[in-house]
């Protein structure tokens, strides 16, 4: 097209040509929020918010469980699905793991005959629980063709009930040192980043990953293109369940106890993190890296408010508003980019 | 001749980086059909959307009955008497025919609830008036695409508008339905409506249009009475250069049998389909909408596995129970509905092309990006897909280029049997000619082609043999030499 391009147009075209990574805009928002807290820190408390390695680690630490769930739910949302059961799975797998991780001599142990087992046993059991719920979710969504919201709402309630039934609501404590060591120190952070890296690589560079995007982008077309949609949905939900099981291990190990109320509401925080990261609930769009950044935004907001000493109730209100504002800002940036996009002749049909 | 109902004066529309319309002027008289022609991207839809109040012009004016009008939106235009029939259907599948037609202005009872009896009465009389035989209470989603199109037209007419804008209304209709539509248009003309009719089809223009305007790259290149034009001249004006023959079918050497189908059935849909297809041969499949042409394709491709019968590929019997299996056997299937079963709108051109060939480019689960993108790039060049960057989102392309992207997707799988379902629907003349040339090329390389098309001239020109279907059965097979439009229609309507 020989359309006359003015100066601004060509600059925009050049910027577009450079192809900033798609995570760029959400990373900017993370930095912006951190800078605001840094400034407020100097104003309110006369000290730096960010220049404290311990605080930086704690910021990640406190969202690493949510982060695991968020990484698991990202591919699910990319297939235009949802997983509401992750918080309940954290509870059930934490209970099961804790019950198999009790130290010898615990009075009232869940399985008195099975104490002092190697840590591998409770871990494997928790992962199996998570994967089993994931398979159930996947089967309901793919083969039984239930809407993902309904299917996982059902498992969410059921699994929470199972977690309570397991010990009739009693917490499971007195865990072995080898088990609680899993959650000690900054280990959950490393687990979170390692899992995120694996999921990132799978989604971006493997055939499986490309199929996930295709299924979310247009399920009918995916079928016609020779993709076994049901099998892939099953796998995606199973992986999400597996990560929820892993999150249950980390939670119970860190708290040195398993409780049926663990993970309540985590599923929504996880979905929030993914959505802040730009994952589209209508499917086909999303990135693990952006979800990780979205998780960090949640962490920075929580830590920042605590740092400033803001009232906990006010914190929730402000958090909600910041989340909405962050997503709006991100969408605005995307639209801008799209508006300057097509330069060639094209009828907006 | 009466005076102009609608006058468009020096309309210009700029999009960022693109002038979609450049000083276009039209004058519509009541009781006439004004055809608007041009390639995809010429600015036809933009012009229609401005007239219908959906877009605001950058400069210029639209005058209705002599008065300048500036609509706040499509509804304002509707109320003023301008109705648009969109190329893509804007109907709600879960609602009934009657509800769809009167949506947003349903007759109310005194309590403010919807008066269903009155709603049905109005719909029946409207449908009767337009000679559309449909029950107002049928759920729209249960109707075929052609019938839905009729409802879309009925809805536009129901506003009692003076100006009707039709954007490629026949792109999904069979010849018989087109006849019906034309009867409808003539009737509307007789009632003094002014109609703007966008189409790519030459035959239609000369049958229905009183005047023709041609747009190219947003500029108005010609406007005159229809009888002042001849077809070749129209094509040249639209494209801006002389096109080679519209359907360039070259004879291809016919080889061994590639596909043999015996007694293929799909419960309640297809029965006892038998045919053979040889390498290098193009088999046209003709029939009315609902004759089972697309069902046959879907069954061969494993989307709806057959309930009885055998399929032999290269002499060996095969079971095709899924698209994966079909692709493994070298079958490719370009579906008729680009939007619903073809494109991945959010993905890039590259990702759209590679998706069906990933198994071939995968080692240990990882995709060989470099080999893949170089193959895709080569295909884009061969097919002359106009794309600035393979990473561009596919929706930024024009309809013709989107179609070529889908063709590229299937060519990348190296098919031996290629099923094309309405391959040239909604693409412009130039892209159409390119697709036809490509079909000939593929055939001469030994690919066996099944061509399903509602456009009879296309089937007649491109096929070595034509299989006509009627109600899920093969009603006859015609050799290229003996096939005529009349014979095909006779078999199709039986």
A191-236 pLDDT per residue, tens = 999 999 999 999 999 999 999 999 999 999 999 999 999 999 999 9
CB contact under 8 A, B344 and A214: yes
Q: What is the pLDDT of residues B13-51, one digit of tens each?
A: 887 667 888 999 999 999 999 999 887 667 888 898 899
Q: For B366, which residue in chain A has the nearest alpha carbon?
A: A206
DSSP three-state, residue A8: helix
Q: Which tokens hold the place of B472? A: 């899920």
DSSP code for B319: -
* Choice among B29-38, B197-206, B222-231 with the minimum mean pLDDT: B197-206
B6-241 belongs to which CATH class?
alpha beta
Among chain A, residues having any CB pair with chain B shorter than 8 Å are 1, 3, 5, 9, 13, 19, 205-208, 210-211, 213-214, 217-218, 220-228, 280, 284-285, 339-349
- What pLDDT is recorded for position A12? 44
Using an 8 Å Cβ cutoff, are A22 and A278 in contact? yes
The residues spanned by each domain of chain A are: 71-341
CA distance A202 to chain B (A): 8
pLDDT given at position A6? 39
Q: What is the average pLDDT across B321-336? A: 95
Mean pLDDT of A295-300: 94
Q: Which of B240, B217, B193 is nearest to B46 (CA)?
A: B217
Helix (H) or strand (E) run with residue B317 in it: strand B316-318
Task: Enumerate the H helices of chain A as residue ranges.
Answer: 7-18, 24-45, 53-78, 86-99, 120-142, 148-167, 177-180, 187-205, 207-217, 219-224, 229-255, 266-276, 288-308, 312-339
User: A207, A216, A219, A348: which to substitute to probe chain B, counting the most B Cβ within 10 Å?
Assistant: A207
* pLDDT (0 to 100) of residue A7: 40
When CB atoms are compared, the residue of B324, B343, B397 closest to A221 is B343
Say what the pLDDT of residue A17 is.
Answer: 45
For chain B, give me the number of helices (H) and strands (E)? 16, 22
Helix axes A288-308, A24-45, angle to 10 degrees: 10
Q: Band the pLDDT of A340: cuts 50, 70, 90.
A: very low
Q: Do B344 and A218 touch (CB under 8 A)?
A: yes
How far apart CA A227 and CA B202 sit, in angstroms, is 39
Q: What pLDDT is recorded for position B172? A: 67
**Torsion, Cα of B299, B300, B305, B311 (10° steps):** 130
pLDDT of residue B105: 84
Interchain pair B358, A223: CB under 8 A:
no
Query: What residue ranges do the domains of chain B occupy?
Result: 6-241, 256-492
User: Could you give the CA distance from residue B75 to residue B83 in angstroms, rounded to a whole number?
Assistant: 9
- What distance in Å separates the CA atoms of residue B26 and residue B47, rounded to the nearest whole number? 10
Chain A residues closer than 8 Å to B388 by CB? 343-344
Same fold, B6-241 and B256-492: yes
Helices A266-276, A288-308: crossing angle, 10 deg rounding = 110
- Angle formed at CA A152 by CA A253 and CA A271, multiple of 5 degrees: 65
Nearest CA to A292 out of A78, A101, A27 is that of A27
Q: Which residue is listed with tokens 């690493």? A: A64
Confidence bin at B218 (pLDDT 50/70/90): confident
**B177 vs A231 pLDDT, higher one:** A231
Distance CA A199, CA A74 (A): 9
Rounded Cα gap, residues B58 and B20, in angstroms: 10
The count of C-alpha atoms lying within 13 angstroms of the C-alpha of A219, restricted to the half-sphere facing its C-beta, is 15
- The yes-or-no verdict on residue A4 having pLDDT over 50 is no
Which chain B residue lies closest to A10 (C-alpha atoms)? Answer: B17
Task: Give the residue with greater pLDDT, A108 vs A136.
Answer: A136
Tokens representing A187 are 């280990």
For position B87, what pLDDT does the model report?
67
Reported ipTM: 0.81
Q: Which of A89, A92, A63 lies closest to A76, judged by CA?
A: A89
Cβ-based contacts of B323 with chain A (< 8 Å)? 223-227
Closest CA to A104 of A94, A117, A91: A117
**What's the rounded mean pLDDT across residues B292-311?**
94
Quick one: pLDDT band at residue B335, thresholds 50, 70, 90?
very high
The yes-or-no verdict on residue B492 having pLDDT over 90 is: no
Question: A235 to chain B: which residues are within 8 Å by CB?
Answer: none
- The DSSP 8-state label assigned to residue B342 in this structure reads I
Task: Say yes or no to pLDDT of A345 above 50.
Answer: no
Q: How many CB pairs under 8 A join A and B?
A: 134
Distance in angstroms (rounded) separating the CA atoms of residues A298 and B308:
57
Chain-chain contact of B18 with A217 (C-beta, under 8 angstroms): no
Give tens-digit pLDDT for B57-71: 999 989 988 888 888
Q: B17: nearest CA in chain A?
A: A343
Look at domain B256-492 and name its CATH class: alpha beta
DSSP labels, A108-120: T-SSTTS-S--TH
pLDDT tens-digit map of A92-133: 999 999 999 999 888 888 888 888 899 999 999 999 999 999
Mean pLDDT, chain B, rounded, equals 87
Written as one string, the DSSP assignment of A170-237 is: --B--B-HHHHGGGSTTHHHHHHHHHHHHHHHHHHHBHHHHHHHHHHH-HHHHHHTT--HHHHHHHHH
Q: State both tokens at B361.
A: 């480019």
Contacts with A221 from chain B: Cβ below 8 Å: 340-344
What local confidence, expressed as pLDDT, does residue A1 receive?
36
B17, B358, B396 ranked by CB distance to A9: nearest: B17
Sheet containing B67-69: order of strands: B67-69, B59-64, B4-15, B18-29, B219-225, B211-216, B33-37, B194-198, B163-167, B82-85
Sort out which chain B residues have CB atoms less than 8 A from A214's CB and list them. 344, 347, 351, 355
Residue A276 CA neighbour count, 13 Å, CB half: 31
The shortest C-alpha distance from B104 to chain A (Å) reads 24
Over residues A236-251, the pLDDT tens digits come to: 999 999 999 999 999 9
Confidence of residue A346 (pLDDT cuts 50, 70, 90): very low
Each residue's pLDDT tens digit, B407-420: 999 999 999 999 99
pLDDT at B304: 93
Structure-derived torsion over alpha carbons of residues B355, B357, B360, B361, reported in degrees to the nearest 10: -40
Say what the pLDDT of residue B400 is: 83
Q: At what angle do helices A53-78 and A207-217 cross, to 10 degrees?
A: 60
DSSP state of B304: S
Task: Please tell me the pTM assigned to this model.
Answer: 0.78
Q: Are A349 and B339 in contact (CB under 8 A)?
A: no
User: Which residues in chain A are closer than 8 Å to B326, comparing Cβ atoms?
Assistant: 226
Which comes out higher in pLDDT, residue B200 or B82?
Answer: B82
Beta bridge partners of B164: B83, B195
Least confident of A124-138, A321-335, B60-74, B344-358: A321-335
pLDDT at B241: 58
> In this model, does residue A15 exceed pLDDT 50?
no
Q: Residue B17 is nearest to which of A5, A285, A347, comparing CB atoms?
A: A5
Average pLDDT over every residue of A41-58: 90
User: pLDDT confidence of B168, banded at 50, 70, 90?
Assistant: confident
Structure confidence at residue B110 as a pLDDT band (50, 70, 90): confident
Which chain A positions have a beta carbon within 8 Å of B299's beta carbon? none
For the cut 90, the answer to whether the pLDDT of residue B446 exceeds it is yes
Cβ partners under 8 Å of residue B181, min gap 6: B150, B153, B169, B170, B173
Give SS3 for A328: helix
Query: Of A58-62, B64-68, B490-494, which one has max mean pLDDT?
Result: A58-62
Task: Take residue B484 and report the two structure tokens written for it.
Answer: 């005529």
pLDDT of residue A150: 96
Mean predicted confidence (pLDDT) in B155-175: 82
For position A348, what pLDDT does the model report?
39
């Amino acid at each position: 097209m020989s359309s006359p391009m003015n100066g601004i147009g060509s600059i925009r075209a050049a910027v577009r040509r450079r192809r900033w990574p798609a995570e760029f805009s959400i990373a900017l928002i993370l930095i912006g929020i951190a800078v605001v807290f840094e400034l407020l820190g100097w104003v309110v408390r006369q000290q730096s918010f960010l220049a404290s390695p311990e605080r930086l680690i704690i910021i990640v630490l406190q969202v690493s469980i949510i982060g695991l769930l968020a990484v698991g739910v990202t591919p699910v949302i990319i297939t235009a699905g949802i997983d509401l059961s992750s918080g309940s799975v954290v509870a059930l797998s934490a209970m099961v793991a804790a019950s198999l991780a009790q130290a010898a001599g615990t009075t009232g142990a869940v399985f008195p005959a099975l104490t002092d087992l190697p840590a591998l046993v409770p871990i494997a059991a928790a992962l199996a629980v998570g994967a089993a719920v994931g398979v159930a979710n996947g089967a309901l969504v793919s083969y039984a063709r239930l809407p993902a919201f309904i299917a996982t709402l059902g498992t969410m309630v059921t699994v929470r009930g199972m977690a309570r039934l397991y010990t009739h609501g009693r917490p499971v404590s007195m865990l072995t040192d080898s088990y609680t060591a899993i959650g000690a120190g900054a280990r959950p952070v490393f687990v979170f980043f390692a899992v995120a890296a694996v999921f990132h690589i799978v989604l971006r560079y493997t055939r499986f990953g490309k199929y996930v995007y295709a299924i979310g982008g247009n399920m009918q077309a995916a079928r016609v293109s020779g993709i076994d949609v049901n099998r892939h949905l099953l796998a995606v939900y199973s992986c999400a369940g597996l990560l929820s099981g892993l999150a249950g291990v980390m939670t119970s190990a860190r708290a040195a106890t398993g409780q049926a109320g663990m993970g309540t509401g985590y599923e929504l925080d996880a979905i929030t993190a993914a959505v802040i990261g730009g994952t589209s609930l209508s499917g086909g769009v999303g990135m693990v890296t952006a979800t990780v950044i979205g998780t960090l935004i949640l962490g920075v907001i929580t830590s920042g408010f605590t740092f400033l000493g803001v009232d906990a109730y006010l914190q929730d209100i402000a958090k909600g508003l910041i989340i909405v504002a962050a997503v709006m800002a991100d969408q605005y940036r995307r639209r801008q980019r799209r508006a300057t996009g097509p330069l060639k002749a094209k009828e907006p049909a | 001749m009466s005076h102009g109902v609608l006058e468009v004066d020096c309309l210009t529309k700029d999009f960022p980086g693109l002038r979609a319309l450049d000083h276009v002027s039209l004058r519509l008289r009541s009781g006439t059909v004004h055809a608007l022609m041009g390639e995809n991207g010429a600015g036809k839809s933009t012009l229609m959307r401005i007239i219908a109040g959906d877009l605001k012009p950058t400069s210029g004016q639209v005058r209705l009955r002599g008065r300048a009008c500036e609509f706040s939106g499509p509804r304002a235009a509707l109320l003023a008497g301008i109705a648009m029939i969109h190329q893509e259907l804007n109907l709600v599948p879960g609602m009934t025919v009657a509800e769809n037609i009167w949506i947003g202005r349903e007759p109310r009872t005194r309590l403010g609830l919807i008066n269903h009896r009155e709603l049905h009465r109005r719909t029946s009389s409207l449908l009767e008036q337009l000679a559309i035989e449909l029950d107002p209470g049928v759920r729209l989603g249960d109707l075929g695409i052609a019938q839905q199109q009729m409802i879309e037209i009925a809805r536009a007419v129901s506003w009692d508008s003076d100006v009707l804008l039709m954007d490629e209304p026949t792109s999904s209709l069979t010849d018989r339905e087109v006849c019906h539509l034309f009867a409808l248009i003539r009737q509307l003309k007789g009632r003094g409506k002014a109609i703007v009719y966008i189409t790519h089809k030459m035959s239609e223009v000369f049958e229905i249009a009183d005047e023709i305007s041609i747009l190219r790259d947003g500029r108005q290149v010609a406007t005159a009475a229809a009888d002042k034009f001849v077809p070749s001249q129209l094509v040249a004006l639209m494209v801006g250069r002389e096109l080679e023959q519209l359907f360039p079918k070259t004879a291809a050497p016919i080889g061994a049998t590639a596909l043999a189908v015996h007694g293929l059935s799909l419960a309640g849909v297809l029965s006892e389909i038998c045919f053979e297809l040889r390498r290098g041969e193009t088999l046209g499949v003709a029939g009315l909408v609902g004759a089972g042409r697309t069902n046959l394709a879907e069954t061969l491709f494993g989307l709806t596995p057959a309930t009885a019968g055998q399929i032999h590929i290269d002499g060996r019997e095969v079971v095709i129970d899924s698209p994966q299996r079909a692709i493994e056997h070298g079958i490719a299937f370009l579906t008729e509905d680009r939007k619903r079963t073809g494109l991945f709108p959010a993905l890039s051109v590259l990702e759209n092309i590679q998706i069906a060939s990933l198994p071939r480019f995968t080692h240990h689960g990882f995709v060989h990006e470099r080999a893949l993108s170089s193959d895709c790039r080569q295909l884009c060049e061969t097919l002359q897909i106009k794309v600035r960057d393979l990473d561009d989102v596919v929706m930024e392309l024009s309809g013709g280029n989107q179609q070529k992207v889908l063709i590229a997707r299937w060519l990348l799988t190296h098919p031996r049997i290629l099923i094309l379902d309405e391959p040239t629907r909604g693409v412009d003349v130039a892209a159409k000619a390119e697709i036809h040339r490509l079909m000939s090329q593929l055939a001469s390389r030994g690919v066996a082609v099944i061509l399903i098309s509602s456009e009879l001239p296309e089937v007649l020109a491109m096929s070595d043999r034509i299989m006509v279907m009627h109600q899920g059965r093969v009603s006859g097979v015609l050799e290229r030499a003996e096939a005529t439009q009349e014979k095909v229609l006779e078999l199709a309507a039986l």
